[in-house]
Amino acid sequence: MDIASQGSVVHNSTVANYIATEPLPRDQTQTGRLHEPAQILSSTDPITGVEIDDLTGHPYLVDGNVTIYFETEATRLEFMDMPIDHPFHLLDNPTDEGYDEG
């Protein structure tokens, strides 16, 4: 039996330009939950790198939807005192002809 006598293929997903024609009802609109989490919780002290198991009683900082916990009040204050920009000026590459600045 040759291919022509077998009938037509309804969905041939092996072709390069396959397009699904009927999305599921849940896929009609994009969800915001994938791209915008409601709350981000960081339980690793950004100064010492120590993972805090019990968050009760530890100092924390809330910035929008991000909550950062710290091991001690001293590390929280050190984090608050850090400059926002890079602490030292990076040298410029005056011969920018495709060379990587590293």
**For 12-55, what is each residue's pLDDT tens digit?**
667 666 666 676 777 777 766 666 677 889 999 999 999 999 99
Q: With contact defined as beta carbons under 8 Å apart, do 70 and 43 qualify? A: no
The pTM for the full model equals 0.51
Segment 69-89, tens digit of pLDDT: 999 999 999 999 987 776 666
For residues 21 and 15, what is the distance between their CA atoms, to the nearest angstrom? 14
Question: Residue 2: inside a domain, yes or no?
Answer: no
Question: Residue 76: inside a domain, yes or no?
Answer: no
Question: Residue 67: inside a domain, yes or no?
Answer: no
In the chain, the number of structural domains is 1
pLDDT at 35: 66
For residues 41 and 55, what is the distance between their CA atoms, to the nearest angstrom? 11
How confident is the model over 80-99, as a mean pLDDT? 68
Question: Residue 50: inside a domain, yes or no?
Answer: yes
Question: Residue 89: inside a domain, yes or no?
Answer: no
Question: Residue 72: inside a domain, yes or no?
Answer: no
Range(s) of the domain holding residue 47? 35-61
pLDDT at 84: 76
pLDDT at 39: 85
Altogether, the residues listed in the chain come to a count of: 102
Question: Residue 98: inside a domain, yes or no?
Answer: no
pLDDT at 83: 79
Q: Is the pLDDT of residue 67 over 80?
A: yes
Question: Residue 8: inside a domain, yes or no?
Answer: no
